[in-house]
Amino acid sequence: MAKEYSYYPGCSSQKGASSSNQLRSTQAICDVLGIKLNEIPDWNCCSASIGYAGGGELPRLALSARNIALSEKHHPNQDVVATCAACWLATRETNDRLTENKELFAETNEALKEAGLVFNGQKKVRHMVEVLIEDIGFEEMGSHVKKPLEGIKIAGYVGCQTNRPFGINGESFENPMYLDKMVETLGADSIPDYDKKVACCGGALMFSEPEKSQALVKEILESAHDSGADMIVTPCPVCQMNTEVYQDAINAKYGTKFNMPSVYYSTLMSVAYGQTAEQAALSGQVIRATKLEEIADK
Amino acid sequence: MKYRNNFLREVEANVEEGEWVKRCMQCGVCAGSCPLGPHWEHPPQEIFMMIRAGKREEVLGSDSMWMCTSCYNCIARCPRELPITHIMHGLAHYATRLGLVSENQQTNKFAQRFWNNLTKKGRVNELKLGLSLYFMNGIPEGIKTSLKMQKVGLGMWKTKRMDPMEILGGHGCKDTSGLQAMLKKASEIEAAKKVKV
């Protein structure tokens, strides 16, 4: 029987949006693993970590509370699951803060009433990686590997918000190992001492402070390159985009020659599971992951 | 009657997680952990001290809290567990409310556009957000930025991660009126709680 979850996809995963390739590859691996993602009906944006100029604390909490309330209403007994780091963080933070703070709980519910909804605080809010590690487990994840990613060296870039402040599976914030373990599980070589694995890519400040953020990404790429990485893997849509699409700009500014693919763990898994390039969403790579394409086409 | 200065009390009452400010022990781990550390005029522990010293204009007019990338390093490492990221967002929001942010603050402009974009239909329209970002410093600057970003846009379009049709409306919630009524109510509740110090 399929394991069912109340799924919060988030804005960037929608059709034609920047991490639509993450959604496609996630869907593909869920089919293999017997995971059913039920989309929360009429979900809204979580305001990520950048809505704060216009949105005060309570309006921002209300946004995430609305999603949880919709999940409580339509998918009782299913954990809320998000694939996007910012979606997970905002939703879980809201869930925690409202259940811990009676005043905020009451005020948020007063606002939610306008949308005909109630937040009860009955949900667990989880990241997709938690589902994979805790509910599926490394052993089962490995058991579906049909085409081990042999000979590919991959820098596991965990980034910020999939890691802090909540962490995955009780691991350390400074040196989480789960992404390296996933890489190894798929038959590829990890770089456990990749020193930029939890460094920041600039997040949303890539848009408002591009030079400062690109300087951070340059260091993330440099460290991966110098560690002998063929590609970077990340769980986060912002990390993925920031490490991939600004490489030309970084090369132009710093005289580097980066051409480093940056992929989602779901793309790696899908290829290792013997799925097609289409299912793995390899066409979503701005910098093509040719080594993965070769395996997928085999 | 209270002995402590007005600005600390103002922050405690009106800024998200502001009641934590007085708990800072000035160790500076936050400053050392911040990815944009070199670009802050005042690192977090200094901002906290300035609040305690009553430096209202200097704090609220500062660029510093707008340098926060929301990486949560400071939160994860603060020995006293101050929610520093949230306090920075809170200060940024409060400064915006009071109209004290410099006109040219880029992250303020972007963050405001992000909020306006998402509240329109309940979901972010990435294309419109991107375009509004390129042109947020005027049309000539916008054309320059668009040309500079042409290759990125083309890459995103070719990989189906950007949809030009989104300009015509695009994704959104069905119950936008419910969502907007909820946000309006939340803002009203919040505004009613703000204390004049």
Contact B39 A212 (CB under 8 A): yes
Question: Where does the pLDDT of residue B111 fall: very low under 50, low under 70, confident under 90, or very high at 90 and above?
Answer: very high
Q: What is the mean pLDDT of chain A?
A: 97
pLDDT in tens, B112-171: 999 999 999 999 999 999 989 889 989 888 988 888 888 898 899 899 999 988 888 889
Overall average pLDDT of the B24-37 stretch: 97
**Helix, strand counts (H, E) of chain B:** 11, 0
| Spatial distance between the Cα atoms of A57 and B13, rounded to a whole number of angstroms | 13
Q: Which helix (H) or strand (E) holds B113?
A: helix B106-121
* Residue to test with chain A: of B65, B68, B70, most A Cβ within 10 A: B70
Q: What is the mean pLDDT of chain B?
A: 94
Overall average pLDDT of the A110-136 stretch: 98
pLDDT of A1 reads: 78
pLDDT of B1 reads: 64
Q: Which residues of B touch A109 (CB under 8 A)?
A: none
Residue A239, CB-side half-sphere exposure with 13 Å CA sphere = 32
Please name the member of A18, A111, A284 whose beta carbon is closest to the beta carbon of B126. A18
Tell whether the model's pLDDT for residue B197 goes beyond 80. no
Q: Determine phi and psi for B105, rounding to 5 degrees.
A: -70, 110
pLDDT of A144 reads: 98
Q: Determine phi and psi for B26, rounding to 5 degrees.
A: 65, 35
Contact A209 B67 (CB under 8 A): yes
Domains in chain A, CATH or no CATH each: 3-128 (1.20.1050.140), 146-297 (3.40.50.11810)
Q: Compute the Cα dihedral for A94, A95, A97, A102 and give only its sign.
A: positive
| Spatial distance between the Cα atoms of A269 and A272, rounded to a whole number of angstroms | 5
Residue B8 structure tokens: 């600390």
Helix (H, G, I), strand (E, B), or coil: what is residue A123? coil
Rounded to the nearest angstrom, the minimum Cα separation between A16 and chain B is 5
pLDDT in tens, B88-103: 999 999 999 999 999 9
Question: Where does the pLDDT of residue B195 fall: very low under 50, low under 70, confident under 90, or very high at 90 and above?
Answer: confident
**Closest residue in B to A219 (Cα–Cα):** B35
Does residue A108 sit at the B interface (CB-CB below 8 Å)? yes
HEC profile of B138-150? CHHHHHHHHHHCH
pLDDT in tens, A36-92: 999 999 999 999 999 999 999 999 999 999 999 999 999 999 999 999 999 999 999
Question: Where does the pLDDT of residue B5 fall: very low under 50, low under 70, confident under 90, or very high at 90 and above?
Answer: confident
Domains in chain B, CATH or no CATH each: 6-102 (1.10.1060.10), 106-192 (no CATH)
Q: Are A79 and A4 in contact (CB under 8 A)?
A: no
Query: What letter does residue B195 receive in the DSSP assignment?
Result: P
Does residue A274 sit at the B interface (CB-CB below 8 Å)? no
Question: Where does the pLDDT of residue A19 fall: very low under 50, low under 70, confident under 90, or very high at 90 and above?
Answer: very high
Overall average pLDDT of the A6-22 stretch: 95
Tell whether the model's pLDDT for residue A21 goes beyond 70. yes
Task: State percent of chain A over pLDDT 90.
Answer: 99
pLDDT of B147 reads: 86
Residue A36, CB-side half-sphere exposure with 13 Å CA sphere = 7
Helices B139-148 & B150-158, crossing angle to 10 degrees?
A: 60
Overall average pLDDT of the A10-32 stretch: 96
